[in-house]
Amino acid sequence: MPLKRAFIFLGPPGAGKGTQAKLVAQSCGLPHLSTGDMLRDAIRRGTDLGRTAKPIMERGDLVPDDLVLKMVEQRLAEPDAGRGVVFDGFPRTLAQAEQLDEILAEKGFGKPVVVDFSVGTEELVKRLSGRWTCSVGGEIYNIHLVPPKVAGICDRDGGKLVQRADDKPEVVRERLAAYDRQTKPLTEYYRRKAVLQIVDAAQSVEEVSRALRRIVNRAEMENGHL
């Protein structure tokens, strides 16, 4: 039986991880596992996890590792994760990365393909301040850079576009600081394991997508999936 595939998208808030993870997940026929989307869904549903996560996310801090890891393990037990997963925004701390290594080994995954999205701070702030997301299907737009055809309406399903509560400038500052403190060290962790690839994510959506396509195709060939 072929090993399951794990793609891990690392990078600061606003780097385009969600935008590209959706495309790669679609093209590879794998589920897109975004811990941010899962936590926002828990908040919407008013679960215990959602009630704990809400004030933390509103401040721009990270949700505790044990809660996030439990949520991810439950998601990986679902049948659609049987061939692999595209991780977006996870892992985000050294503890999460170490635990993920154990989970991947236990569950029959091959070596992960880890992609670091590299973008300067000025561009990140511009991207986050202009982001609008579809309230129905989660499609991501940007009023300055990737606008919808009709303002406020999703091109794909006609859903209403909304702004994320944590995209306010003061929360964005905290999220960027949390990234520098807790997530940036993961690039070194994965570099040492020789699984890290870097993408210049300051390019257009199409250019980043093409660069990722090359990385994904190479990994799929090496692992016998193409």
Query: With respect to ligand AP5, which residue has the nearer C-beta, 3 or 23?
Result: 23
127 vs 13: CA distance, rounded Å = 9
- By annotation, the residues acting in catalysis are 17, 92, 131, 164, 175
Give whole-number Cα distances, 130 to 11, 27, 31, 104, 123, in Å.
18, 27, 27, 36, 11
Please, what is the minimum distance in Å from the beta carbon of residue 2 to ligand AP5?
Answer: 27
The helix/strand/coil state of 199 is strand
Please, what is the minimum distance in Å from the beta carbon of residue 101 to ligand AP5?
Answer: 15
Query: With respect to ligand AP5, which residue has the nearer C-beta, 98 or 222?
Result: 98
Burial of 55 (0-12, 13-18, 19+ CB in 10 A): exposed
Query: With respect to ligand AP5, which residue has the nearer C-beta, 118 or 223?
Result: 118
Positions that interact with ligand AP5 (CB under 6 A): 11, 13-19, 35-36, 39, 56-57, 60-63, 68, 89-90, 92, 96, 127, 130-131, 140-142, 145-146, 166, 175, 204-205, 208
